[in-house]
Amino acid sequence: MIGRLPLDEQLATLKSVLSRNEVLLEVLERSAYLALPGWYVTAGCLFQTVWNVVTDRPPTSGIKDYDVFYFDGGDLSWEAEDAVITAGANAFAGLPGEVEIRNEARVHLWYRQKFGVACAPYASTEAAIDSFAATTCCLGVRLEPGGRWRVYAPHGLSDVFNLVVRPNPVLAPREVYESKTARWRRHWPELRVLEWPTGTMARGGSSY
């Protein structure tokens, strides 16, 4: 099984698998052109591409959108983020998939209004990825100068390849995890979804 390969072989396999999603490759290339600080392509477009390939589905099947996170703590205004979103809309024009760009340095400013609870400011894009509802989702990829892939996977890759979804009770509450996993199971019934740990409470909701 891929999930039992040495980590270096898992990384090589991850690049090979993700490269089968041509939309994702375009998003990576165009994101690199934008050169946003601390950027990653992250979330569902990555692990769902792996699920699709592992289960012999088309690589883009069931992928709702492509998330691009970046981190600009120097300007927390909505106007600055909106300017990046507008530039991104032009950069990603023509792609057969929706691309969402967000400055993770600003999340704490709108989080309470949207979810009713506070979110402490993130210190980096990686910290934002760490807060996803499932550890399996904590994955980010970007292209660095020379075309080298930088992969951020704080919980490793075995669960991703093995179709295991493991809860990450650090921010998102149980209901967010269960809602997401129920939706994923409808499209990928092969998933093995682990139960939310009993007696564990997270700090608030998650938009991702």
- Return the CA Rg of the chain: 17
pLDDT tens across 102-120, in order?
Answer: 999 999 988 777 766 678 9
* Residue 40 pLDDT class (50, 70, 90 cuts): very high
pLDDT tens across 52-71, in order?
Answer: 999 999 999 999 999 999 99
User: pTM (2 decimals)?
Assistant: 0.89
Give the model's pLDDT for residue 3: 52
The residues pairing with 18 across neighbouring beta strands, listed in sequence order, are none
Give the model's pLDDT for residue 48: 98
Q: For the chain, which residues make up each domain, given as ranges?
A: 2-193
pLDDT tens across 152-183, in order?
Answer: 999 999 999 999 999 999 887 888 899 999 99
Query: Across the chain, where does the E strand assignment appear?
Result: 40-42, 65-70, 98-103, 140-143, 149-152, 164-165, 192-193
